[in-house]
Structure 1
Amino acid sequence: MQKKRVIIVSDGDKTAQKAVEEASQNLGLRVISKSAGNPTPCSGKELIEMIQECPADPIVLMVDDEGNFGYGKGERAMERIIKSEKVDVLGIVAVASNAKDVEGVKPEISVTRDGKLVSGPVNKGGELEAKGHHILEGDTVDIVNNFDGIVIGIGDIGKMSGKDYFEIGAPITTKALEEVLKRSGVKNGQEKEDQ
Structure 2
Amino acid sequence: MLSKKVIVITDGDEYARKAIDYLAGEVGGTSLAQYSANPTTASSEEIIKAVNRAKEEPVYVLLDDAGIQGVGPGERVLLDLAKESSITIIGAIAVASHTRYREWSRFTFAIDRKGEIVAQGVDKEGEREMEIGRISGDTVYSLDELDIPTVVAIGDIGKMYGQDDLKKGVPITRKAIELILERADENEERE
8 Å contact 2:111–2:154 — kept in the other structure?
A: yes
More strand by share: 2
Normalised to the residue count of structure 1, the TM-score between the two structures is 0.90
The number of aligned residues is: 189
The residue aligned with 2:135 is: 136
Q: State the alpha-carbon separation in 2 of the partners of residues 81 and 171 from structure 1.
A: 27
The residue aligned with 1:103 is: 103
The residue aligned with 1:184 is: 184
8 Å contact 1:19–1:158 — kept in the other structure?
A: yes
Normalised to the residue count of structure 2, the TM-score between the two structures is 0.92
Q: State the alpha-carbon separation in 1 of the partners of residues 46 and 185 from structure 2.
A: 28
8 Å contact 1:102–1:142 — kept in the other structure?
A: no
Q: Percent identity?
A: 35
The residue aligned with 1:173 is: 173
Deviations 1:172-192 (A, max 9, x none): 110111110011117xxxx99
8 Å contact 2:67–2:101 — kept in the other structure?
A: no
RMSD: 1.9
Deviation at 1:119, TM superposition (A): 2.1
The residue aligned with 1:152 is: 152
Unaligned runs of 5+ in 2: none
Q: State the alpha-carbon separation in 2 of the partners of residues 184 and 15 from structure 1.
A: 26
The residue aligned with 1:58 is: 58
Q: State the alpha-carbon separation in 2 of the partners of residues 59 and 96 from structure 1.
A: 21
The residue aligned with 1:163 is: 163
Q: State the alpha-carbon separation in 1 of the partners of residues 8 and 137 from structure 2.
A: 14
8 Å contact 2:67–2:100 — kept in the other structure?
A: no
Amino acid in structure 1 at the alignment position of 2:153: G
Q: State the alpha-carbon separation in 2 of the partners of residues 58 and 18 from structure 1.
A: 17
The residue aligned with 2:27 is: 27
